[in-house]
């Protein structure tokens, strides 16, 4: 016999239909993720689940997101700091230091230069129980066209990434730099309360047209 089934009435096939719908959804999402380089929504949702009491510190969240994205890209064979037009060692960031990991230093090179510019200073500090990370400022150590396309914000983000790395490795972070790198170090120290100390070698007194 047949009977009328209203919208809210229970039906015997509801449970198996629900199970099949979930299976189809999982297959669809797996296919989407397989075609996506980095799924930011999934990444941020995973980070939020790990944050106690859902209280978010902006800088801490940015650090975790940066490291998660970097690890994901490295697993795919993509390296954010790969140079574009010079020998591979020119634009490559480096990490020098002691195993104690108590104090880390973000050391920033100057304008139209690259991390090797400050290598001697980094080695000097590394021998004195500091862990030193020298990031590559965006657009440097690559090509003139790449540098011409970069902005002040790009440079600041390069230093922010360096701070994110060192703050995850060491209990306290000091930032410093030479010339324009010194200005970027002072800028970071002014914006980020977690910076323990800052030093500037020949910093610019005034910047124009940035």
* Region at 37 (left for phi over 0; alpha for psi -120 to 50; beta for the rest): alpha
* 82 close to 141: Cβ distance less than 8 angstroms: no
109 beta partners: none
Residue ranges matching CATH 3.40.50.1820 in the chain:
94-201
pLDDT computed for residue 187 by the predictor: 94
Beta-carbon-side half-sphere exposure of residue 45 (alpha carbons within 13 Å): 5
Q: What is the mean pLDDT of residues 127-154?
A: 88
More confident site: 163 or 73: 163
Strands (E), 43-171: 94-96, 103-108, 131-134
Express each pLDDT in 74-118 by its tens digit. Answer: 665 555 544 444 555 667 899 998 766 899 999 999 988 889 889
pLDDT computed for residue 178 by the predictor: 92
* 164 close to 62: Cβ distance less than 8 angstroms: yes
> Taking 70 as the threshold, does the pLDDT of residue 40 lie above it?
no
Q: Beta 195-201 vs 172-178: how paired, if at all? A: parallel
More confident site: 198 or 114: 198
More confident site: 209 or 21: 21
Q: How confident is the model at residue 122 (pLDDT cuts 50, 70, 90)?
A: very high
> Taking 50 as the threshold, does the pLDDT of residue 162 lie above it?
yes
Q: Which of 63-77, 150-164, 181-195 has the lowest mean pLDDT?
A: 63-77
Summary mean pLDDT of the chain = 80
pLDDT computed for residue 67 by the predictor: 72
Q: How confident is the model at residue 142 (pLDDT cuts 50, 70, 90)?
A: confident
Task: Compute the distance between CA of residue 181 and CA of residue 200 in angstroms, rounded to an integer.
Answer: 8
104 beta partners: 131, 173
Q: Which structure tokens are listed for 80?
A: 């954010």
Q: What is the mean pLDDT of residues 46-69?
A: 68
Tokens 């039906």, residue located:
11
Q: What is the mean pLDDT of residues 122-129?
A: 92
Helices and strands counted in the chain (H then E)? 7, 5
Domain covering 94-201 in this structure, CATH number? 3.40.50.1820
pLDDT computed for residue 42 by the predictor: 63
């Amino acid at each position: 016999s047949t009977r009328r089934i209203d919208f809210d009435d229970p039906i015997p096939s509801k449970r198996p239909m629900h199970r099949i719908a979930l299976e189809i959804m999982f297959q669809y999402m797996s296919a989407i993720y397989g075609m996506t380089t980095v799924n930011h929504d999934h990444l941020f949702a995973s980070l939020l689940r790990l944050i106690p009491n859902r209280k978010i510190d902006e800088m801490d969240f940015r650090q975790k997101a940066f490291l998660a994205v970097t690890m994901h890209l490295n697993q795919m064979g993509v390296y954010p700091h790969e140079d574009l037009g010079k020998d591979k060692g020119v634009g490559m960031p480096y990490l020098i230091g002691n195993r104690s990991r108590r104090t880390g230093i973000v050391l920033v090179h100057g304008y139209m230069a690259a991390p090797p510019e400050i290598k001697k200073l980094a080695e000097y500090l590394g021998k004195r129980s500091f862990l030193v990370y020298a990031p590559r400022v965006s657009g440097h150590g690559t090509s003139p066209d790449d540098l011409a396309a970069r902005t002040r914000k790009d440079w600041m983000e390069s230093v922010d990434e360096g701070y994110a790395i060192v703050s995850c490795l060491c209990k306290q972070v000091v930032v410093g730099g030479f010339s324009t790198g010194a200005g970027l170090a002072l800028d970071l120290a002014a914006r980020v309360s977690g910076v323990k100390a800052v030093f500037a070698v020949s910093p610019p007194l005034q910047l124009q047209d940035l």
